[in-house]
Amino acid sequence: MRADATRNLERVLSTGARMLADDPSVTVAAIAAAAGVDRRTVYRRFASREDLMAAVYAARYDAVEEVIKAARLHEAPVAVALHLYVEGIIAVNRKWPVETSRMLREVTLRERRRRLIDDVDAFLRRATDEGLLRSDLPPGWVATVLPPLMEQAAEELSELSAAQAADVVVDTLLRGVGVPRAR
């Protein structure tokens, strides 16, 4: 693919992600216009609106896979891996703000999402086994509260870098929001 075509595709996908996050019924023409390309250019690449949406969601999953790989969830020290993962996901949430559960009827994306969740769940079990996370919490609790923390950090802490927002999320996850009791 030519460099300009690659840039156009990236613009269409990232613009589509932002616009779909704001309005799931946004048209291909509106996405194309906002991305600065002709809608025919988009339709040459994507046969339908659904194909474009699937490509946006796939691009988000590509980014999440890169974060998981870079965080080295299975081999890095758990505290380091946790911070790298949270920082990376905050960055992904900022660039690709679409809610992926909307595409769960698409089998390939659903299976891909399941693999990513399984990978993070295995890491969270490792973090618990190694003593970073409490073992007395209900099963799956950390996996339930961590994604909304990262989503909120991406949106509500936009003045912070992804690394700084990750500091807030990790501190909240590990220490909570209550004032420590005097001993």
Q: What is the pLDDT of residues 82-97, one digit of tens each?
A: 999 999 999 999 998 8
> Quick check: 43 pLDDT over 90?
no
Sign of torsion over alpha carbons 19, 22, 56, 97:
positive
Count Cβ atoms below 10 Å from residue 36 Cβ, excluding itself: 11
Instruction: Name the residue with tokens 């909120």.
Output: 152
Q: For 6-23, what is each residue's pLDDT tens digit?
A: 888 888 898 888 888 888
Q: Are 46 and 55 in contact (CB under 8 A)?
A: yes
- Which of 20-24, 119-123, 162-166 shows the lowest per-residue confidence on average (mean pLDDT)? 20-24
| Alpha-carbon distance values, 79 to 48, 73, 128, 166 (Å) | 43, 10, 11, 12
User: Which of residues 68 and 179 earns the better pLDDT score?
Assistant: 68
CA-to-CA distance for 156 and 65, rounded, in angstroms? 24
Looking at residue 107, its pLDDT comes to: 77
Query: What distance lies between CA 167 and its chain's CA centroid?
Result: 17
Mean predicted lDDT score pLDDT of the chain? 90
Looking at residue 17, its pLDDT comes to: 86
Residue 78 tokens read as: 């758990």
**Residues 6 or more apart whose Cβ sits within 8 Å of residue 117:** 143
Q: Where are the alpha helices (DSSP H) in the chain?
A: 3-22, 28-35, 39-45, 49-71, 78-95, 107-129, 141-156, 162-175
Looking at residue 24, its pLDDT comes to: 82
User: Which of residues 53 and 180 earns the better pLDDT score?
Assistant: 53
Looking at residue 104, its pLDDT comes to: 60
**Residues 6 or more apart whose Cβ sits within 8 Å of residue 90:** 150, 153, 154, 162, 165, 166, 169
Tell me, what DSSP letter sits at residue 77? Answer: -
Mean pLDDT value of segment 76-84: 97
CA-to-CA distance for 21 and 15, rounded, in angstroms? 10
Confidence of residue 39 (pLDDT cuts 50, 70, 90): confident
Looking at residue 178, its pLDDT comes to: 82
Looking at residue 123, its pLDDT comes to: 97
> Quick check: 105 pLDDT over 80?
no
Looking at residue 98, its pLDDT comes to: 78
